[in-house]
Amino acid sequence: MDSPLANKVAIVTGTSSPTGIGRATALELARHGASLIITDLAVEGADGSVGTNAAPMRELASEIRALGGTCAVFDVDVTDRLAINRCVEQVVNEHGGVDILVNNAGSTVGALPFLDIESTHWDLSFRINLKGTAEFCQAVIPSMLSRGGGSIINNASTAGLGAEAGFGAYNATKHAVVGLTKTIAAEFGPNGITCNAVCPGYIATDMHTEATKRLATEAGVSVEEMARRRYEGVAARRAGTPAEVAALIAFLAGPGARYINGSAIPISGGTPVGL
């Protein structure tokens, strides 16, 4: 088996969602030979009890091990800098360092008509989508520097390149993720670190389905009609799959992508992104 990521230690955030891009990415990196660290919030309860995301995380870890890979599970809310630092510290101690970071955790919190977005929506959107991504990068970069390089892939969105009405806080914070990505590439490219953003369009996950339902309710049309309207602007006339995004992320993490840095790459079935 071709294992381009053999002996690489990879952290993927936001992996609990059974339909999500994070889960598909962790599996794809494992198929490429990486040792996996999967993280999400609510793996543990506040009192150390079993959290709501414990079961899907356990199942994913088992699937990864069934592929022949190793997998460790961490409870990390990306809005909690101490939890991020604790996780990375432990990974460095136990695995010797970090080679690949996929900042996948994200949320459409504040996906509302612009005038309805409240301070709490702006704050949470910023803390999850931008600050969580930035602080995970800050936590792993020292280890990557001491290993002579690494690959960071941030899951932005076509909402980080253009804008769809009704997603103000999401659009703004995903644009910021693209800016963050370019900053890290410029600052650490000389040290062998690549940092790129993937910019998925419509991908068939729970997040996407919920957004379509909300837009359908607001417009007073059926979910099917809203899906048809959203896909009308997609050359492929369909949503993408998490596996299609995972394949791009695995490529960006691998040896064939060492000269790609600071890029924000749309994976959108041909959605116009420069709105």
CB of 210 to ligand NAP, least distance (A): 8
Structure tokens at 72: 């460790």
Binding mask 171-190 for ligand NAP (x = CB under 6 A): --------------------
The helix, strand and coil proportions of the chain, stated in percent and rounded to the nearest 5, come to 50, 15, 35
Separation CA 58–CA 238 (nearest Å): 31
Q: Which is nearer to ligand NAP, 205 or 261 (CB)?
A: 205
Is residue 59 close enough to count as binding ligand NAP by CB under 6 A? no
Q: Which is nearer to ligand NAP, 89 or 210 (CB)?
A: 210
Is residue 166 close enough to count as binding ligand NAP by CB under 6 A? no
Structure tokens at 192: 């062998």
Q: Which is nearer to ligand NAP, 33 or 117 (CB)?
A: 117
Cα-based distances in Å from 96 to 24, 103, 117, 119, 145 = 25, 20, 43, 41, 13
- Work out the number of other CB atoms within 10 angstroms of the CB of residue 2: 7
Catalytic residue list contains 170: yes
Q: Which is nearer to ligand NAP, 33 or 64 (CB)?
A: 64
Choosing from 70, 79, 138, 241, the residue that interacts with ligand NAP (CB under 6 A) is: 79
Separation CA 111–CA 130 (nearest Å): 16
**Piece in contact with ligand NAP (CB under 6 A), picked from 16-24, 111-119, 178-186, 254-262:** 16-24
- Work out the number of other CB atoms within 10 angstroms of the CB of residue 227: 21
Cα-based distances in Å from 272 to 85, 113, 171 = 38, 21, 15
Separation CA 1–CA 235 (nearest Å): 35
Separation CA 237–CA 147 (nearest Å): 43
Is residue 131 close enough to count as binding ligand NAP by CB under 6 A? no
Choosing from 9, 21, 60, 71, the residue that interacts with ligand NAP (CB under 6 A) is: 21
Is residue 207 close enough to count as binding ligand NAP by CB under 6 A? yes
Structure tokens at 235: 């050359």
Is residue 11 close enough to count as binding ligand NAP by CB under 6 A? no
Structure tokens at 225: 């009609």
Is residue 157 close enough to count as binding ligand NAP by CB under 6 A? yes
Binding mask 213-252 for ligand NAP (x = CB under 6 A): ----------------------------------------
Q: Which is nearer to ligand NAP, 69 or 200 (CB)?
A: 200
Q: Return the closest-CA partner of residue 218 out of 173, 164, 272.
A: 164
- The residue number with the shortest CB distance to ligand NAP is 106
Choosing from 42, 221, 247, 260, the residue that interacts with ligand NAP (CB under 6 A) is: 42
Structure tokens at 12: 């993927």
Where in the sequence numbering do the catalytic residues fall?
A: 170
Summarize as ranges the residues that interact with ligand NAP (CB under 6 A): 13-14, 16-17, 19-22, 40-42, 53, 77-79, 104-107, 128, 155, 157, 200, 202-203, 205-208
